[in-house]
Structure 1
Amino acid sequence: MEFLRPASWGEALRAKADHPEAVPVAGGTDLLVELNFGHRRPDAILDLTRVPELAEWSRAPEQLRIGAGLPYARLIDELGGELPGLAAASRTVGSPQIRNRGTVGGNLASASPAGDALPPLLAGGAQVEVASVRGARTIPADEFCTGVKRNALAADELIAAVHCTPATGPEQFAKVGTRNAMVIAVCSFAISLHPARREVGTGIGSAAPTPRRARDAERLLGEELDWDGRGALPDALVSRFGELVAAAADPVDDVRGSAAYRRHALSVLARRTLQRVWHDHSSGRPECA
Protein backbone atom coordinates (compact mmCIF):
# COMPACT_ATOMS: atom_id res chain seq x y z
CA MET A 1 0.00 0.00 0.00
CA GLU A 2 1.41 3.37 -1.04
CA PHE A 3 1.09 6.28 1.40
CA LEU A 4 0.92 9.80 -0.07
CA ARG A 5 1.19 12.86 2.18
CA PRO A 6 0.94 16.21 0.36
CA ALA A 7 1.65 19.42 2.26
CA SER A 8 -0.50 21.77 0.16
CA TRP A 9 -3.78 21.72 -1.73
CA GLY A 10 -1.97 21.93 -5.06
CA GLU A 11 0.16 18.91 -4.13
CA ALA A 12 -2.95 17.01 -3.05
CA LEU A 13 -4.67 17.61 -6.39
CA ARG A 14 -1.58 16.56 -8.33
CA ALA A 15 -1.25 13.43 -6.22
CA LYS A 16 -4.89 12.53 -6.85
CA ALA A 17 -4.42 13.10 -10.58
CA ASP A 18 -1.37 10.84 -10.61
CA HIS A 19 -2.98 8.23 -8.36
CA PRO A 20 -6.75 8.28 -9.02
CA GLU A 21 -7.11 5.02 -7.09
CA ALA A 22 -5.78 6.66 -3.89
CA VAL A 23 -8.35 6.87 -1.08
CA PRO A 24 -8.33 10.26 0.70
CA VAL A 25 -8.15 10.30 4.48
CA ALA A 26 -8.53 13.24 6.88
CA GLY A 27 -10.15 12.16 10.14
CA GLY A 28 -10.00 8.49 9.17
CA THR A 29 -12.99 7.58 11.33
CA ASP A 30 -14.58 5.49 8.55
CA LEU A 31 -11.58 4.30 6.53
CA LEU A 32 -9.51 3.04 9.46
CA VAL A 33 -12.39 0.91 10.70
CA GLU A 34 -12.64 -0.71 7.27
CA LEU A 35 -8.87 -1.28 7.18
CA ASN A 36 -8.78 -2.76 10.69
CA PHE A 37 -11.54 -5.24 9.88
CA GLY A 38 -10.04 -6.13 6.52
CA HIS A 39 -13.06 -4.88 4.60
CA ARG A 40 -10.95 -2.64 2.39
CA ARG A 41 -7.37 -2.68 1.13
CA PRO A 42 -6.73 0.28 -1.20
CA ASP A 43 -3.61 0.42 -3.33
CA ALA A 44 -2.84 3.91 -2.03
CA ILE A 45 -3.92 6.28 0.73
CA LEU A 46 -3.88 10.05 0.29
CA ASP A 47 -3.37 11.67 3.70
CA LEU A 48 -4.82 15.21 3.68
CA THR A 49 -4.10 16.13 7.29
CA ARG A 50 -1.14 18.36 6.36
CA VAL A 51 -3.21 20.54 4.00
CA PRO A 52 -4.00 23.55 6.23
CA GLU A 53 -6.76 25.20 4.21
CA LEU A 54 -8.94 22.10 4.41
CA ALA A 55 -9.31 22.58 8.18
CA GLU A 56 -10.45 26.22 7.98
CA TRP A 57 -13.69 28.06 7.27
CA SER A 58 -14.39 31.49 5.85
CA ARG A 59 -17.30 33.87 5.41
CA ALA A 60 -18.59 35.29 2.14
CA PRO A 61 -21.34 37.91 1.93
CA GLU A 62 -24.15 35.32 1.99
CA GLN A 63 -22.47 31.97 2.60
CA LEU A 64 -20.06 30.10 4.83
CA ARG A 65 -17.32 28.08 3.17
CA ILE A 66 -16.44 25.12 5.41
CA GLY A 67 -13.23 23.31 4.56
CA ALA A 68 -13.71 19.59 4.00
CA GLY A 69 -11.27 18.81 6.84
CA LEU A 70 -12.88 20.98 9.53
CA PRO A 71 -13.63 18.66 12.49
CA TYR A 72 -17.15 18.34 13.87
CA ALA A 73 -16.03 19.69 17.25
CA ARG A 74 -14.92 22.98 15.73
CA LEU A 75 -18.03 23.20 13.58
CA ILE A 76 -20.17 22.88 16.72
CA ASP A 77 -18.15 25.43 18.70
CA GLU A 78 -17.52 28.00 15.98
CA LEU A 79 -20.53 27.73 13.65
CA GLY A 80 -23.29 26.26 15.80
CA GLY A 81 -25.14 29.57 16.05
CA GLU A 82 -25.26 30.06 12.29
CA LEU A 83 -25.81 26.43 11.27
CA PRO A 84 -27.91 25.02 14.12
CA GLY A 85 -29.24 22.04 12.18
CA LEU A 86 -25.79 20.89 11.09
CA ALA A 87 -24.42 21.50 14.57
CA ALA A 88 -27.24 19.45 16.12
CA ALA A 89 -26.45 16.56 13.80
CA SER A 90 -22.73 16.90 14.49
CA ARG A 91 -23.34 16.52 18.23
CA THR A 92 -24.75 13.04 17.58
CA VAL A 93 -21.67 11.85 15.67
CA GLY A 94 -19.78 9.28 17.71
CA SER A 95 -17.88 10.18 20.85
CA PRO A 96 -15.97 13.39 21.67
CA GLN A 97 -12.84 11.73 20.28
CA ILE A 98 -14.60 11.00 16.99
CA ARG A 99 -16.00 14.54 16.79
CA ASN A 100 -12.46 15.88 17.25
CA ARG A 101 -11.31 13.92 14.19
CA GLY A 102 -14.32 13.32 11.95
CA THR A 103 -15.30 15.81 9.26
CA VAL A 104 -18.29 16.74 7.13
CA GLY A 105 -16.10 16.20 4.07
CA GLY A 106 -15.48 12.65 5.21
CA ASN A 107 -19.20 12.07 5.70
CA LEU A 108 -19.79 13.22 2.14
CA ALA A 109 -16.94 11.15 0.70
CA SER A 110 -18.15 8.00 2.47
CA ALA A 111 -21.63 8.63 1.01
CA SER A 112 -23.30 6.41 3.57
CA PRO A 113 -27.10 6.79 3.59
CA ALA A 114 -26.79 6.99 7.39
CA GLY A 115 -24.31 9.88 7.46
CA ASP A 116 -25.56 12.17 10.24
CA ALA A 117 -24.32 15.41 8.65
CA LEU A 118 -26.00 14.81 5.31
CA PRO A 119 -29.72 15.47 6.03
CA PRO A 120 -29.04 18.99 7.40
CA LEU A 121 -26.92 19.77 4.32
CA LEU A 122 -29.85 18.80 2.11
CA ALA A 123 -32.36 20.73 4.21
CA GLY A 124 -30.19 23.84 4.09
CA GLY A 125 -29.53 23.70 0.35
CA ALA A 126 -25.75 23.27 0.72
CA GLN A 127 -23.36 23.06 -2.21
CA VAL A 128 -20.30 20.79 -2.31
CA GLU A 129 -17.15 22.29 -3.82
CA VAL A 130 -14.93 19.72 -5.52
CA ALA A 131 -11.68 20.25 -7.39
CA SER A 132 -9.02 18.59 -9.51
CA VAL A 133 -6.04 19.78 -11.52
CA ARG A 134 -8.62 20.49 -14.24
CA GLY A 135 -10.45 23.07 -12.13
CA ALA A 136 -13.24 23.35 -9.55
CA ARG A 137 -17.01 22.88 -9.65
CA THR A 138 -19.92 22.79 -7.21
CA ILE A 139 -22.49 20.02 -6.80
CA PRO A 140 -25.79 20.45 -4.93
CA ALA A 141 -25.68 18.40 -1.74
CA ASP A 142 -28.84 16.53 -2.72
CA GLU A 143 -27.12 15.35 -5.93
CA PHE A 144 -23.74 14.44 -4.44
CA CYS A 145 -24.54 10.92 -3.20
CA THR A 146 -25.40 8.71 -6.17
CA GLY A 147 -25.88 5.36 -4.41
CA VAL A 148 -24.92 3.42 -1.31
CA LYS A 149 -21.35 4.58 -0.62
CA ARG A 150 -21.10 6.11 -4.09
CA ASN A 151 -20.72 9.79 -4.90
CA ALA A 152 -20.49 12.17 -7.84
CA LEU A 153 -16.72 12.72 -7.64
CA ALA A 154 -14.65 12.06 -10.75
CA ALA A 155 -11.66 9.77 -10.23
CA ASP A 156 -9.23 12.70 -10.01
CA GLU A 157 -11.38 14.96 -7.81
CA LEU A 158 -11.26 15.78 -4.10
CA ILE A 159 -13.81 17.52 -1.89
CA ALA A 160 -12.54 21.01 -1.11
CA ALA A 161 -15.35 22.52 0.96
CA VAL A 162 -19.04 22.76 1.67
CA HIS A 163 -20.88 26.03 1.04
CA CYS A 164 -23.74 26.64 3.49
CA THR A 165 -26.09 29.58 3.84
CA PRO A 166 -26.43 30.66 7.48
CA ALA A 167 -29.82 29.73 8.84
CA THR A 168 -32.53 32.33 8.17
CA GLY A 169 -35.05 30.47 10.32
CA PRO A 170 -35.28 27.64 12.84
CA GLU A 171 -33.66 24.29 12.13
CA GLN A 172 -33.95 20.88 13.77
CA PHE A 173 -32.35 17.46 13.47
CA ALA A 174 -33.45 14.19 15.06
CA LYS A 175 -32.52 10.56 14.66
CA VAL A 176 -33.59 7.16 15.94
CA GLY A 177 -31.03 4.71 17.25
CA THR A 178 -30.22 2.58 20.26
CA ARG A 179 -28.46 5.66 21.61
CA ASN A 180 -28.47 9.32 20.59
CA ALA A 181 -24.78 9.20 19.62
CA MET A 182 -22.08 6.58 19.02
CA VAL A 183 -24.54 4.61 16.92
CA ILE A 184 -25.54 4.32 13.26
CA ALA A 185 -28.95 5.88 12.79
CA VAL A 186 -31.93 3.66 12.12
CA CYS A 187 -33.32 6.76 10.42
CA SER A 188 -32.84 10.50 10.74
CA PHE A 189 -34.55 13.69 9.65
CA ALA A 190 -33.64 17.36 9.30
CA ILE A 191 -35.88 20.36 8.67
CA SER A 192 -35.09 24.01 7.97
CA LEU A 193 -37.55 26.89 7.76
CA HIS A 194 -36.79 29.71 5.33
CA PRO A 195 -39.45 32.29 6.28
CA ALA A 196 -38.27 35.06 3.96
CA ARG A 197 -38.75 32.74 0.96
CA ARG A 198 -41.75 30.96 2.49
CA GLU A 199 -39.97 27.68 1.88
CA VAL A 200 -39.07 24.59 3.87
CA GLY A 201 -36.07 22.30 3.41
CA THR A 202 -35.94 18.67 4.49
CA GLY A 203 -33.42 15.86 4.60
CA ILE A 204 -34.02 12.14 5.19
CA GLY A 205 -31.20 9.87 6.34
CA SER A 206 -30.75 6.10 6.61
CA ALA A 207 -34.05 5.34 4.88
CA ALA A 208 -33.11 5.16 1.19
CA PRO A 209 -30.04 4.29 -0.91
CA THR A 210 -28.99 7.93 -0.56
CA PRO A 211 -29.98 10.82 1.69
CA ARG A 212 -32.93 12.53 0.05
CA ARG A 213 -35.36 15.41 0.37
CA ALA A 214 -39.10 15.03 0.89
CA ARG A 215 -40.10 17.45 -1.85
CA ASP A 216 -43.87 16.90 -1.68
CA ALA A 217 -43.74 17.53 2.06
CA GLU A 218 -41.72 20.71 1.47
CA ARG A 219 -44.26 22.01 -1.05
CA LEU A 220 -47.12 21.26 1.32
CA LEU A 221 -45.65 23.38 4.11
CA GLY A 222 -44.56 26.16 1.79
CA GLU A 223 -48.15 26.55 0.64
CA GLU A 224 -50.04 25.85 3.88
CA LEU A 225 -48.04 27.37 6.75
CA ASP A 226 -49.34 30.62 8.23
CA TRP A 227 -46.10 32.46 7.58
CA ASP A 228 -47.39 35.94 8.42
CA GLY A 229 -49.80 35.22 11.26
CA ARG A 230 -47.64 32.47 12.76
CA GLY A 231 -50.77 30.75 13.98
CA ALA A 232 -50.98 27.30 15.54
CA LEU A 233 -50.21 24.32 13.34
CA PRO A 234 -53.37 22.44 12.30
CA ASP A 235 -53.23 18.82 13.40
CA ALA A 236 -54.21 17.70 9.92
CA LEU A 237 -51.27 19.58 8.39
CA VAL A 238 -48.79 18.05 10.86
CA SER A 239 -50.17 14.58 10.19
CA ARG A 240 -50.07 15.01 6.41
CA PHE A 241 -46.50 16.29 6.58
CA GLY A 242 -45.45 13.15 8.45
CA GLU A 243 -47.19 10.97 5.87
CA LEU A 244 -45.44 12.69 2.96
CA VAL A 245 -42.02 12.44 4.59
CA ALA A 246 -42.53 8.71 5.19
CA ALA A 247 -43.72 8.28 1.59
CA ALA A 248 -40.55 9.94 0.28
CA ALA A 249 -38.36 7.28 1.90
CA ASP A 250 -37.32 4.01 0.29
CA PRO A 251 -36.11 1.95 3.28
CA VAL A 252 -34.99 -1.66 3.54
CA ASP A 253 -35.13 -4.30 6.25
CA ASP A 254 -31.80 -4.81 8.00
CA VAL A 255 -30.36 -5.68 11.41
CA ARG A 256 -31.14 -2.19 12.77
CA GLY A 257 -34.80 -2.07 11.82
CA SER A 258 -37.48 -3.02 9.33
CA ALA A 259 -38.62 -0.87 6.43
CA ALA A 260 -42.03 -0.51 8.06
CA TYR A 261 -40.48 0.69 11.31
CA ARG A 262 -38.30 3.21 9.48
CA ARG A 263 -41.30 4.70 7.70
CA HIS A 264 -43.21 4.95 10.97
CA ALA A 265 -40.25 6.47 12.80
CA LEU A 266 -39.67 9.02 10.04
CA SER A 267 -43.28 10.12 10.25
CA VAL A 268 -42.88 10.64 14.00
CA LEU A 269 -39.59 12.51 13.61
CA ALA A 270 -41.09 14.72 10.89
CA ARG A 271 -44.09 15.67 13.02
CA ARG A 272 -41.99 16.37 16.11
CA THR A 273 -39.35 18.45 14.35
CA LEU A 274 -42.00 20.42 12.46
CA GLN A 275 -43.70 21.29 15.75
CA ARG A 276 -40.38 22.36 17.24
CA VAL A 277 -39.30 24.61 14.36
CA TRP A 278 -42.76 26.16 14.20
CA HIS A 279 -42.66 26.81 17.94
CA ASP A 280 -39.32 28.57 17.44
CA HIS A 281 -40.64 30.58 14.49
CA SER A 282 -43.92 31.62 16.09
CA SER A 283 -42.59 32.39 19.56
CA GLY A 284 -39.05 33.49 18.83
CA ARG A 285 -37.87 31.17 21.63
CA PRO A 286 -35.87 28.07 20.65
CA GLU A 287 -37.13 24.73 21.87
CA CYS A 288 -34.59 22.03 22.74
CA ALA A 289 -34.14 19.25 20.18
Structure 2
Amino acid sequence: MLGVKKNALNSGEFVHSITVPVVQGWQGYAKVGTRNAMVIATASACLVRDADEGLISIALGSVGPTIIRCSQAEKWLLKTTSLRVGAQINADLAVEFGRRVSDEATPIDDHRSTAAYRRHCVAILAQRLLVRSLA
Protein backbone atom coordinates (compact mmCIF):
# COMPACT_ATOMS: atom_id res chain seq x y z
CA MET A 1 0.00 0.00 0.00
CA LEU A 2 1.34 3.37 -1.01
CA GLY A 3 -1.58 5.48 0.15
CA VAL A 4 -5.33 5.89 -0.09
CA LYS A 5 -6.52 3.77 -3.03
CA LYS A 6 -2.90 3.47 -4.20
CA ASN A 7 -0.75 0.36 -4.38
CA ALA A 8 2.44 -0.80 -6.08
CA LEU A 9 0.74 -3.08 -8.63
CA ASN A 10 1.32 -2.39 -12.31
CA SER A 11 -1.46 -2.46 -14.87
CA GLY A 12 -2.73 -6.02 -15.32
CA GLU A 13 -1.18 -7.30 -12.08
CA PHE A 14 -3.24 -8.61 -9.19
CA VAL A 15 -2.68 -10.18 -5.80
CA HIS A 16 -3.15 -13.94 -6.15
CA SER A 17 -2.66 -14.88 -2.51
CA ILE A 18 -1.07 -13.80 0.73
CA THR A 19 0.54 -15.74 3.55
CA VAL A 20 -0.34 -14.77 7.09
CA PRO A 21 2.01 -16.23 9.69
CA VAL A 22 0.65 -17.66 12.92
CA VAL A 23 1.53 -15.22 15.66
CA GLN A 24 2.18 -16.43 19.19
CA GLY A 25 1.13 -14.41 22.19
CA TRP A 26 -1.57 -11.96 23.14
CA GLN A 27 -3.18 -10.04 20.29
CA GLY A 28 -5.70 -7.23 20.52
CA TYR A 29 -7.50 -4.77 18.26
CA ALA A 30 -9.53 -1.73 19.24
CA LYS A 31 -11.18 1.03 17.29
CA VAL A 32 -13.12 4.22 17.74
CA GLY A 33 -15.98 4.87 15.34
CA THR A 34 -19.53 6.09 15.18
CA ARG A 35 -20.76 2.49 15.50
CA ASN A 36 -19.21 -0.79 16.61
CA ALA A 37 -19.63 -2.60 13.28
CA MET A 38 -19.64 -1.91 9.56
CA VAL A 39 -18.11 1.54 9.82
CA ILE A 40 -14.80 3.06 8.81
CA ALA A 41 -12.86 3.61 12.01
CA THR A 42 -12.07 7.11 13.19
CA ALA A 43 -8.91 5.57 14.65
CA SER A 44 -7.76 2.02 15.37
CA ALA A 45 -4.86 0.17 16.95
CA CYS A 46 -3.60 -3.40 16.96
CA LEU A 47 -1.10 -4.69 19.52
CA VAL A 48 0.72 -8.04 19.67
CA ARG A 49 2.74 -9.12 22.71
CA ASP A 50 5.21 -11.98 22.65
CA ALA A 51 5.78 -12.57 26.36
CA ASP A 52 8.36 -15.31 25.80
CA GLU A 53 10.59 -12.98 23.78
CA GLY A 54 9.60 -9.82 25.67
CA LEU A 55 8.52 -8.06 22.47
CA ILE A 56 5.60 -5.86 21.58
CA SER A 57 4.33 -4.59 18.22
CA ILE A 58 1.73 -1.91 17.64
CA ALA A 59 0.19 -0.59 14.44
CA LEU A 60 -2.38 2.16 13.84
CA GLY A 61 -5.15 2.54 11.30
CA SER A 62 -7.10 5.56 10.02
CA VAL A 63 -4.46 8.00 11.28
CA GLY A 64 -2.25 8.15 8.19
CA PRO A 65 -2.27 7.35 4.49
CA THR A 66 -1.54 3.67 5.26
CA ILE A 67 -1.20 1.48 8.34
CA ILE A 68 1.45 2.94 10.65
CA ARG A 69 3.82 0.72 12.63
CA CYS A 70 4.93 2.59 15.76
CA SER A 71 8.49 1.32 15.88
CA GLN A 72 9.85 4.22 17.95
CA ALA A 73 7.26 3.67 20.69
CA GLU A 74 7.99 -0.07 20.60
CA LYS A 75 11.75 0.54 20.98
CA TRP A 76 11.18 3.00 23.83
CA LEU A 77 9.00 0.51 25.71
CA LEU A 78 11.56 -2.29 25.28
CA LYS A 79 14.31 -0.05 26.70
CA THR A 80 12.11 1.15 29.57
CA THR A 81 10.62 -2.07 30.96
CA SER A 82 10.50 -5.84 30.70
CA LEU A 83 7.58 -7.31 28.78
CA ARG A 84 8.34 -10.95 29.53
CA VAL A 85 5.99 -13.38 31.27
CA GLY A 86 4.77 -11.93 34.57
CA ALA A 87 5.68 -8.34 33.67
CA GLN A 88 3.72 -5.49 35.21
CA ILE A 89 3.69 -1.79 34.38
CA ASN A 90 2.41 1.28 36.14
CA ALA A 91 -0.21 3.70 34.82
CA ASP A 92 2.34 6.44 34.08
CA LEU A 93 4.30 4.13 31.79
CA ALA A 94 1.13 3.16 29.91
CA VAL A 95 0.22 6.84 29.47
CA GLU A 96 3.70 7.66 28.16
CA PHE A 97 3.53 4.72 25.76
CA GLY A 98 0.21 6.05 24.47
CA ARG A 99 1.70 9.51 24.01
CA ARG A 100 4.64 8.14 22.06
CA VAL A 101 2.35 6.03 19.87
CA SER A 102 0.24 9.13 19.21
CA ASP A 103 3.37 11.06 18.19
CA GLU A 104 3.93 8.57 15.35
CA ALA A 105 0.45 9.07 13.91
CA THR A 106 -0.03 11.42 10.94
CA PRO A 107 -3.78 12.07 11.03
CA ILE A 108 -5.76 14.57 9.01
CA ASP A 109 -8.90 16.61 9.60
CA ASP A 110 -11.80 15.30 7.52
CA HIS A 111 -15.56 14.74 7.69
CA ARG A 112 -15.12 11.86 10.17
CA SER A 113 -12.96 13.59 12.75
CA THR A 114 -10.21 16.06 13.55
CA ALA A 115 -6.54 15.20 13.61
CA ALA A 116 -6.35 16.18 17.30
CA TYR A 117 -9.18 13.81 18.24
CA ARG A 118 -7.59 10.97 16.27
CA ARG A 119 -4.28 11.51 18.09
CA HIS A 120 -6.12 11.45 21.40
CA CYS A 121 -7.93 8.24 20.41
CA VAL A 122 -4.80 6.29 19.45
CA ALA A 123 -3.08 7.34 22.68
CA ILE A 124 -5.97 5.92 24.72
CA LEU A 125 -6.27 2.80 22.53
CA ALA A 126 -2.54 2.10 22.87
CA GLN A 127 -2.67 2.50 26.66
CA ARG A 128 -5.65 0.17 26.98
CA LEU A 129 -4.20 -2.48 24.68
CA LEU A 130 -0.87 -2.44 26.51
CA VAL A 131 -2.55 -2.84 29.90
CA ARG A 132 -4.79 -5.65 28.58
CA SER A 133 -1.81 -7.46 27.08
CA LEU A 134 -0.20 -7.65 30.50
CA ALA A 135 -3.33 -8.70 32.43
TM-score computed with the length of structure 2 as normaliser:
0.91
Equivalence for 1:214? 70
Counterpart of 1:193 (choices 49, 70, 87) is 49
Shift of 1:165: 2.1
1:109-166 CA-to-partner distances (Å, cap 9, x unmatched) read xxxxxxxxxxxxxxxxxxxxxxxxxxxxxxxxxxxx1111111222232112222221
Equivalence for 2:92? 236
Equivalence for 1:173? 29
Where does the alignment leave 5 or more consecutive residues of structure 1 unmatched?
1-144, 280-289
Shift of 1:236: 2.3
Shift of 1:190: 0.3
Q: For 1:161 and 1:202, how far apart are their aligned partners in 2?
A: 24
On the 8 A contact 2:27/2:46 being kept in 1, the answer is yes
Q: For 1:194 and 1:156, how far apart are their aligned partners in 2?
A: 39
Query: Going by fraction, where is helix more abundant, 1 or 2?
Result: 1
Where does the alignment leave 5 or more consecutive residues of structure 2 unmatched?
none
Counterpart of 2:9 (choices 136, 153, 157) is 153
The letter for the 1-side match of 2:83 is W
The letter for the 2-side match of 1:264 is H
Equivalence for 2:107? 251
Q: For 1:154 and 1:201, how far apart are their aligned partners in 2?
A: 31
Equivalence for 1:57? none
Moved over 3 A (4+): none
Q: Find the structure with the greater CA-based Rg.
A: 1
On the 8 A contact 1:199/1:221 being kept in 2, the answer is no
SS in 2 for 1:158: coil
1:230-284 CA-to-partner distances (Å, cap 9, x unmatched) read 23212222111101111111111111110000000110000011111111xxxxx
Q: For 1:169 and 1:228, how far apart are their aligned partners in 2?
A: 11
On the 8 A contact 2:52/2:84 being kept in 1, the answer is no
Please state if 1:275 is matched with 2:131.
yes
Counterpart of 2:38 (choices 171, 182, 192) is 182
SS in 1 for 2:57: strand
On the 8 A contact 1:202/1:218 being kept in 2, the answer is yes
1:159-188 CA-to-partner distances (Å, cap 9, x unmatched) read 122222212110100000011111111010
Q: For 1:248 and 1:202, how far apart are their aligned partners in 2?
A: 11
TM-score computed with the length of structure 1 as normaliser:
0.44
Please provide the CA RMSD for this pair. Answer: 1.5
